[in-house]
Structure 1
Amino acid sequence: MAKEKVKKQYLNGLERILKIDQMISQGGYPSVEDFARVTEASIPTINRDLRDLRMKFGAEEILQYDRIRKGFYYTQPSFRIPAMLTSEKQIVAAQLMSNLLNLIKNTPVYKKAIEVFNSLSDNIDEDTKLNSKKLSNRILFLGMDPVKIDDEIWTKLEEAMSKNNYIRFKYLNYEKEIVVQPWQLIYSDGMWSLYTYNQMPDVKDNRFYNLPGIHNLEIDKKNTFELPPDFEYTKRAKGNFRRYIGPKLLSCKLKITSEKTLNYIKTYNWAEDQKFETQSDGSTIMTLTTNQEYPLLGWVLSHGMYVQPLEPEWLVNEWGKNVKEMARLMNGV
């Protein structure tokens, strides 16, 4: 049986120009013949690429030919043309990231990010773009549509965080003004929130504020704060149940009695130290540590009769109160 002939893959125009730029920047004074040999293109094609490098990529005065060394060089050794997407696989990856960014639309940062992705693939031929779109359309990211964020609020938060300035604002319908250190902007479950250290005398603790609830925000440009080394949310939160950080770490033990529920739970990393142990009665004991006690309580309740807390005592008691109250409501008492 005759072997199927494999079609040889040649570099496209942008790929050749990137390769030429790389060879020149290495300082070896490559010639037209060197470019043609490495890229497997004809001499006329290379000459067109060199013209495009000069006219389209800003190297008109920088790209020069050394008649003694018989090769090309940059008069500014640090010059490089901007990195761009050059292959179908890279475009697919960029389009998937672009689709993922739809989860944070209605924010100022979204528009900027989309512009970057679009500009990266401007020089790719249309056939390559169409082929890559066929695959990217088969991969979907689902999530809650984010709430529209006020551009002025976002801009002020960026400025305050970049300079570690205190901020003050009103929140929802509370009358009291809030003063905080803005630590991080966090996106979770369709909502942008501000992770802060609240300076109020009756609080002095970390707090989260949903951005749509913030208004009358002002930057205290006269006062700055020192950001703690471990300020990042992911370094302080122990668990992945919801955006929350509690005051203490809890050692938890849960009994799972449904195989379907167990299979679902095992597909997620709820805590770094989560473990599962099968029991003689067919149930499974799940152990973990977390400082997200209230999100954990809601998570346990969401699994109904198939997940029962055994430890700690606080979780058992709170779960019991909720179950009794639901039973009372069901019975109309």
Structure 2
Amino acid sequence: MAKEETRQSAKETLRLFLLDSLFQQERYFTKAELTEKLEVSIPTLDRDIRRLRDDFNAPLEYNSEKGGYHYSSKLFRLPSVFVPEQEMPAYSMVLKLFEQFQNTPLYTPLLNICESFESPIKTDAIGSGQVDFRSTHLEEKPWFETRIVMGKRSVASVDETNWDIILKALQNNQVLEFDYENVRTSKKGYSRKIEPWQLIYDSEQWYLRGYAEDQNNPNVKNIRNFVVPRMKNLKLLPQHFKLPEEKIWRLDEYNVGSFGALASDKIEEYKFIFQGTALYFAEADFAPNKKVEPYKGEHAHKDGAVLVSFTSNQPLGILRSFFAYGEDIIPLAPQAFVAEWTDTVKKMAKSLGL
């Protein structure tokens, strides 16, 4: 859109808001009054009035006895922001993306934000002439409703009460006590305490990161990531804490690589053989210093295999991203990472009786 067209659109939007605010009043406005207040011509005012009626279903009526315009319903309000027609595909994708948070306390606030947006595209009418993009049941929906698809993923459910307690602990730098279920050992809950630094969303899961008392020694604190849905019986303690320096707790700012939000404080060099289906992924920009070259080593490999090397501090995210490619990604370094990968493969084979 040209700059002049953008300016014209902004002026028109401002006029619509001004008209809407005038029609909220308990009086009638003549065309002469409206053109004077808006500083526009009669034809421009007529276009604005038509748009209020036709595009936004405003209950705008002309009363011949009063000689002016008014809203027949005081319940009507223009949305706070208009979504232009060319931006509606993106708006539709955002709504579909929000659906994955239905079992979390984020869902309602996210939709409330979207309630402040509206589109000039006609959908179902609800209530006092308002329109609802999400609940449309028209036989002929906008093209992007079915032609642009967002893959659905299930986000772990979070208790709303626990969510509010965690947010308060973060806001006030307050120590949090809770029972925690460790699935690696048993389902039994253990009492824990944490100085919460960040609430982290990563790979369809919520984590709470901070300094936590060692399970065996309360005098020792370690950096831990707790899975929020496994935290039970949360309770705010009267103790408060000070955040450490940012490079310790703001690891989202110090991540090396694009493998989610979780990271460690150790940056290492990673090397992998990419082959077969993974060759497409080798082109992705997942690390700022990624290097790709033909693989010439002695490890068994497929034709066209490449050596991918980069540095990162996100071992968990790398494992999640790469492991799904199976035999088409082979880890070579660092040694501890290779050992964990190998151990996982052996355990999977054992569980399958291989």
Please say whether Structure 1 and Structure 2 have the same fold, judged by a TM-score greater than 0.5. Answer: yes
Letter aligned with residue 173 of structure 2: N
1:84 equivalent to 2:100? Answer: no
Residue 141 (structure 1) aligns with: 150
236, 253, 256: which one aligns with 2:271:
253
- Other structure's SS at 2:240 match: strand
Residue 192 (structure 1) aligns with: 206
| Structure 1 pair 219–228 and aligned structure 2 pair: CA distance change class (3 A) | farther
Q: How big is the shift at 1:56?
A: 7.0
Residue 293 (structure 2) aligns with: 277
> How many angstroms apart in 2 are the aligned matches of 1:214 and 1:235?
26
| Structure 1 pair 250–159 and aligned structure 2 pair: CA distance change class (3 A) | same
> How many angstroms apart in 2 are the aligned matches of 1:149 and 1:155?
10
1:17 equivalent to 2:13? Answer: no
**Identical residues among aligned pairs (%):** 23
302, 307, 316: which one aligns with 2:329:
307
Q: How big is the shift at 1:152?
A: 0.6
Q: How big is the shift at 1:109?
A: 2.0
Q: CA RMSD in A?
A: 4.2
> How many angstroms apart in 1 are the aligned matches of 2:161 and 2:352?
47
> How many angstroms apart in 1 are the aligned matches of 2:208 and 2:42?
52
Residue 195 (structure 2) aligns with: 181
Residue 176 (structure 2) aligns with: 167
1:41 equivalent to 2:45? Answer: yes
Letter aligned with residue 160 of structure 1: A
For residues 314-333 of structure 1, the aligned pairs below 5 Å read 314-322=336-344, 332=354
- Other structure's SS at 2:143 match: helix
Q: Does the 8 Å CA contact 2:180/2:232 hold for their aligned counterparts? A: yes
Q: How big is the shift at 1:139?
A: 2.0
| Structure 1 pair 118–300 and aligned structure 2 pair: CA distance change class (3 A) | closer
Letter aligned with residue 189 of structure 1: S
- Other structure's SS at 2:253 match: helix
> How many angstroms apart in 2 are the aligned matches of 1:153 and 1:291?
30
Q: How big is the shift at 1:156?
A: 1.0
| Structure 1 pair 215–38 and aligned structure 2 pair: CA distance change class (3 A) | farther
Moved more, 108-117 or 32-41: 32-41
Q: Per-residue displacement from partner, 1:242-274 (whole Å, max 9, x unpaired)?
A: 55423421101212232x3211342x4432322
- Other structure's SS at 1:156 match: helix
Unaligned runs of 5+ in 1: 1-8, 23-29, 59-80
Letter aligned with residue 155 of structure 2: P
- Other structure's SS at 1:235 match: coil
Q: How big is the shift at 1:167?
A: 0.9
For residues 52-131 of structure 1, the aligned pairs below 5 Å read 83-121=80-118, 125-126=122-123
Q: Does the 8 Å CA contact 1:15/1:86 hold for their aligned counterparts? A: no
Q: How big is the shift at 1:146?
A: 1.9
User: Aligned residue pairs: how many?
Assistant: 291
Q: How big is the shift at 1:220?
A: 1.8
Letter aligned with residue 35 of structure 2: V
Q: Does the 8 Å CA contact 1:165/1:225 hold for their aligned counterparts? A: no
Residue 35 (structure 2) aligns with: 32
Residue 153 (structure 1) aligns with: 162
Unaligned runs of 5+ in 2: 1-7, 22-32, 53-59, 62-68, 125-130, 182-186, 297-302
For normalisation by structure 2, the TM-score amounts to 0.66
Q: Per-residue displacement from partner, 1:80-129 (whole Å, max 9, x unpaired)?
A: x9732253234443332121111211112211221331343288754895
